[in-house]
């Protein structure tokens, strides 16, 4: 008899971290932590945060320790073994070719005079992630178009990921290798660990989660996500032919409110019926 197993990949901020405007159900995080302690469950955080901020969030919000962490919007993958965070070098090699031999500093020089962009702090940069702030009043599509033209002219294969830092009311724009998105990192981790497609679930809430939410990966959008993201995710999933792979958590699921980790668990209930008795 085949033992059921699950690779649970989840965003952090406003997904399992209750730092949005909507209320968190008091049972949500304890139930989420208990579920993730099951030996059949492998937990991976998938986040825009860098390593230190992930560790800080785990402590501050009493989150379960993950087995893996996909950080910096997909540009780093760590395996956590007895509190040691070990970089997956095979992932680094996998994404390195996309930038056509250009390093972080060279890409920064190429883009440094694009209007309205301002470089994020050094702690939010890494070898394969170039991150900018962009004011919300600026048309991000025109800025992205300018950036893409410059990158293409240098044969640099990049993904430009737009999201919004709601608490600070500012736009975030990340330049990554084409394959260094959350989606590609999840697919790489799935293959690296030998999980089947139906043994993987993703949960998210924001713009940089859209590539996964609109893919063939079974995905749940927590109830506290904005109406704009819900609409965009549904449209993207439908356009890509994966409408059945996207689930929107509700305000009544599992007798909680569908916000944050309550929504994550509701997604597990929906996509992984063999785990319902563990919820």
CATH number at residue 42: 3.40.50.1000
Q: Are residues 168 and 210 in the same domain?
A: no
Q: Which of 122, 152, 177 is the last residue of a domain?
A: 177
- Where residue 123 falls among pLDDT bands split at 50, 70, 90? confident
Residue 206 neighbours by CB under 8 Å, 6+ apart? 11, 13, 14, 163, 164, 225, 229
Whether 186 contacts 200, CB under 8 Å: yes
Q: Are residues 155 and 140 in the same domain?
A: yes
1 falls within a domain: no
Q: CATH number, domain at 148? A: 3.90.1070.10
Task: Give the tens place of pLDDT for each residue, 30-62.
Answer: 999 999 999 999 999 999 999 999 999 999 999
Q: How far is Cα 44 from Cα 163, in angstroms, rounded to an integer?
A: 21
Question: What is the rounded radius of gyration, in angstroms, for the C-alpha atoms of the chain?
Answer: 18
121: which DSSP letter?
A: P
Compare 107 and 97 and report the one with higher pLDDT.
Answer: 107
163 falls within a domain: yes
Tell me what the pLDDT averaged over the chain comes to: 95
Which class for 101: exposed (0-12), middle (13-18), buried (19 or more C-beta within 10 A)?
A: exposed
Q: 130-134 and 158-165: which strand pairing? A: unpaired
SS3 for 248?
Answer: strand
Task: Give the tens place of pLDDT for each residue, 57-78.
Answer: 999 999 999 999 999 989 999 9
Q: Is the pLDDT of residue 218 over 90?
A: yes
Q: 84-87 and 76-81: which strand pairing? A: antiparallel
214 falls within a domain: yes
Q: Which of 126, 142, 177 is the last residue of a domain?
A: 177
Q: How far is Cα 123 from Cα 121, in angstroms, rounded to an integer?
A: 5
Q: How far is Cα 16 from Cα 259, in angstroms, rounded to an integer?
A: 9
Q: Are residues 48 and 108 in the same domain?
A: no
Q: Are residues 22 and 148 in the same domain?
A: no
Q: Are residues 88 and 184 in the same domain?
A: yes
Structure tokens at 183: 């989606």
Q: Are residues 84 and 55 in the same domain?
A: yes
**Axis crossing angle, helix 182-193 with helix 89-96, rounded to the nearest 10:** 130
Instruction: Work out the percent of the chain whose per-residue pLDDT is above 90.
Output: 87
Structure tokens at 108: 């920064």
Instruction: Work out the percent of the chain whose per-residue pLDDT is above 70.
Output: 99
Compare 166 and 16 and report the one with higher pLDDT.
Answer: 16
Closest CA to 8 of 32, 47, 43: 43
Quote the Cα angle for 201-28-42, to 5°: 35
H or E segment to which residue 91 belongs: helix 89-96
- Where residue 208 falls among pLDDT bands split at 50, 70, 90? confident
Structure tokens at 258: 């569908």
Domain, as residue range, for 15: 6-92+180-278
- Where residue 1 falls among pLDDT bands split at 50, 70, 90? very low
Closest CA to 223 of 184, 252, 191: 252
Q: Is the pLDDT of residue 260 over 80?
A: yes
16 falls within a domain: yes
Q: What is the mean pLDDT of residues 157-165?
A: 90
User: How many domains are there within the chain?
Assistant: 2
Q: Are residues 56 and 101 in the same domain?
A: no
């Amino acid at each position: 008899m085949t033992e059921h197993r699950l690779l649970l990949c989840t965003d952090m901020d406003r997904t399992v971290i209750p730092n949005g405007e909507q209320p968190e159900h008091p049972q949500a995080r304890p139930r989420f932590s208990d579920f993730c302690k099951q030996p059949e469950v492998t937990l991976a955080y998938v986040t825009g945060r860098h390593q230190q901020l992930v560790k800080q969030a785990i402590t501050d919000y009493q989150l379960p320790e993950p087995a893996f962490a996909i950080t910096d919007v997909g540009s780093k993958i760590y395996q956590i073994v007895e509190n040691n965070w070990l970089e997956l070098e095979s992932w680094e090699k996998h994404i390195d070719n996309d930038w056509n031999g250009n390093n972080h500093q060279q890409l920064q020089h190429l883009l440094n005079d694009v209007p309205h962009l301002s470089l994020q702090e050094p702690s939010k940069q890494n070898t394969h992630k170039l991150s900018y702030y962009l004011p919300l009043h600026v048309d991000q599509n025109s800025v992205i178009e300018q950036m893409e033209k410059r990158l293409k002219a240098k044969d640099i294969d990049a993904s430009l990921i737009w999201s919004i830092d709601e608490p600070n009311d500012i736009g975030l724009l990340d330049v990554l290798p084409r394959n260094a998105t959350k989606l590609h990192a999840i697919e790489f981790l799935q293959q690296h660990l030998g999980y089947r497609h139906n043994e993987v679930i993703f949960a998210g809430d924001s713009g940089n989660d859209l590539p996964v939410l609109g893919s063939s990966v079974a995905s749940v959008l927590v109830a506290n996500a904005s109406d704009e993201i819900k609409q965009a995710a549904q449209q993207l999933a439908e356009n890509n032919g994966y409408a059945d792979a996207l689930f929107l958590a509700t305000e009544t699921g599992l007798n909680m409110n569908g916000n944050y980790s309550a929504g994550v668990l509701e997604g597990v209930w929906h996509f992984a019926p063999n785990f319902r008795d563990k919820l």
